[in-house]
Amino acid sequence: MEPLPLVDQHCHGVLREGPDEAAAFEALLTESDAPPAPGTRHFDTQLGFAVRRWCAPVLGLEPHCAPDDYLGRRRQLGAREATRRLLRAARIGTFLVDTGLPGDLTDPGELAAAGGGTAREIVRVERLAERAAAAAPGAAAFLAHLAEAIAAAAKTAAGFKTVAAYRYGLDLDPAPPSAAELRDAAARWLDSRRTDRLTDPVLLRHLMWSAARTGLPLQVHTGFGDPDLRLHRADPLLLTDFIRAVRPTGCRVVLLHCYPFHRNAGYLAAAYPHVYADVGLSLGHTGARAEAVLAEMLELTPFGKLLFSTDAYGLPELYLVGAQNFRQAVARLCARFTGEGSWSRSDADRVAALIAAGNARRLYGPGN
């Protein structure tokens, strides 16, 4: 049977070169920013096991080969060839690429070319603000430049993304800031000369509302991620009042990752017509448990509201692992539900296709 065609609705570029050192490779296998604890290594996780399982055969090795054999073979092939093989094996048709991360990463076009698919951009609003601030002589100019940048991005991007969860927490005031609040916050931030990193909650709210008003989908990081996060302040339920407030704008809110609050995200997607949920990191990182996590997302989330993504970043391995964990989880769940008579076979096939690609195509519009 042909593998499900996939729209990866949230991902990032991969490194153009390397990583050649085991430590550098393993650093990209974890959301942690630290070396592993003494006596442990980052390969010893569900994600590490899944890389050895799914990726080794694509590089011509046995599944579950030793990590160092894997890395040796990868070096031998070279980053370009390894990337090409791994991305092709993932069989992702469309990449929606968040370009807001630093590093020598492939751009959307290169990624699409390597993977044999097409790409569109997801624009990270905090990055737009940081760029606008770097160039602006003062608060008024900053706000004007920012508005222009958002309007310009909206013409070509598939959607926007916010990392307010990292920068402040999702327990933000849900209302758009007043003009006076906004001016003050902008002036304060520019005066602080810390324009490299936006953490002011007034400005973050302004960005979220500005993106919402464009009518494009707004992806919101929720749930787990790197240690920069206070996870209890990244529960998507904290967005409830924002979700209610933004509804009249027509904005569709996409809750990314969600784990371990994925059931909460499912409730929001069920309760509000403009809320969608994404499997993201949750399936890639949980490996052998991806089926169980996906099953929990499918308790309340309407089947027309769940989206696939890999959140891959840096390593092409994360594309293949995300895609395979997802495909296998969907196939097993469908087999289970149909086997026990809970779902019909044709419903199962239809739901699988919706999550894999159909929902994303409807949400992001033509070109996906």
Identity of the residue, 9 or 106, whose beta carbon is nearer to a copy of itself in the bound complex: 9
Q: Using DSSP, how many helices (H) and how many strands (E) does the chain show?
A: 17, 8
Identity of the residue, 76 or 342, whose beta carbon is nearer to a copy of itself in the bound complex: 342
How far is 315 from 196, CA to CA, in rounded Å? 26
Phi first, then psi: give them for residue 254, nearest 5 degrees: -110, 115
Q: Which range in 88-96, 145-153, 192-200, 290-298 contacts a copy of itself by CB under 8 A?
A: 290-298
Bridge partners, 14 (sequence order): 314
Cα-only R_g, the chain: 20
How far is 157 from 82, CA to CA, in rounded Å? 29
- Which candidate, 91, 123, 113, 112, places its Cα nearest to that of 322? 91
Cβ(222)–Cβ(169) under 8 Å?
no
Per DSSP, 138 falls in state S
CA distances from 137 to 181, 192, 213, 223, 229 (A): 19, 13, 26, 36, 31
Residue from the set 51, 128, 198, 300 that interacts with a copy of itself by CB under 8 A:
300
Q: What DSSP letter does each residue of 142-182 carry, written as one string?
A: HHHHHHHHHHHHHHH-SEEEE-HHHHT-S----SPPPHHHH
Residue from the set 40, 76, 178, 192 that interacts with a copy of itself by CB under 8 A:
40
**Residue 152 C-beta: closest distance to a copy of itself, Å:** 27
Report if residue 191 touches a copy of itself, rule: CB under 8 A. Answer: no
How far is 88 from 98, CA to CA, in rounded Å? 20
How far is 238 from 265, CA to CA, in rounded Å? 10
How far is 282 from 234, CA to CA, in rounded Å? 14
Identity of the residue, 78 or 273, whose beta carbon is nearer to a copy of itself in the bound complex: 273
Q: Which range in 13-21, 39-47, 137-145, 185-193 contacts a copy of itself by CB under 8 A?
A: 39-47
Q: Which range in 94-102, 125-133, 231-239, 308-316 contacts a copy of itself by CB under 8 A?
A: 231-239
Residues 98-137 binding a copy of itself (CB under 8 A) are: none
The residue written with tokens 């308790």 in the block is: 299
Report if residue 259 touches a copy of itself, rule: CB under 8 A. Answer: yes
Report if residue 178 touches a copy of itself, rule: CB under 8 A. Answer: no
**Residue 94 C-beta: closest distance to a copy of itself, Å:** 17
Identity of the residue, 141 or 334, whose beta carbon is nearer to a copy of itself in the bound complex: 334
Residue from the set 231, 245, 331, 353 that interacts with a copy of itself by CB under 8 A:
231
Report if residue 353 touches a copy of itself, rule: CB under 8 A. Answer: no
**Residue 47 C-beta: closest distance to a copy of itself, Å:** 9
| Widest Cα–Cα separation across the chain | 65
Q: Which range in 6-14, 29-37, 100-108, 180-188 contacts a copy of itself by CB under 8 A?
A: 29-37
Residue from the set 37, 193, 248, 367 that interacts with a copy of itself by CB under 8 A:
37
Q: Which range in 7-15, 116-124, 131-139, 225-233 contacts a copy of itself by CB under 8 A?
A: 225-233
Strand pairing category for 159-162 and 118-124: parallel
**Residue 174 C-beta: closest distance to a copy of itself, Å:** 11
How far is 248 from 174, CA to CA, in rounded Å? 14
Residue from the set 303, 331, 349, 353 that interacts with a copy of itself by CB under 8 A:
303
Q: What DSSP letter does each residue of 52-77 carry, written as one string?
A: HHHHHHHTTS-TT--HHHHHHHHHHH
Report if residue 249 touches a copy of itself, rule: CB under 8 A. Answer: no
Identity of the residue, 138 or 227, whose beta carbon is nearer to a copy of itself in the bound complex: 227
Residue from the set 305, 318, 356, 368 that interacts with a copy of itself by CB under 8 A:
305
Residues 314-333 binding a copy of itself (CB under 8 A) are: none
Identity of the residue, 106 or 240, whose beta carbon is nearer to a copy of itself in the bound complex: 240
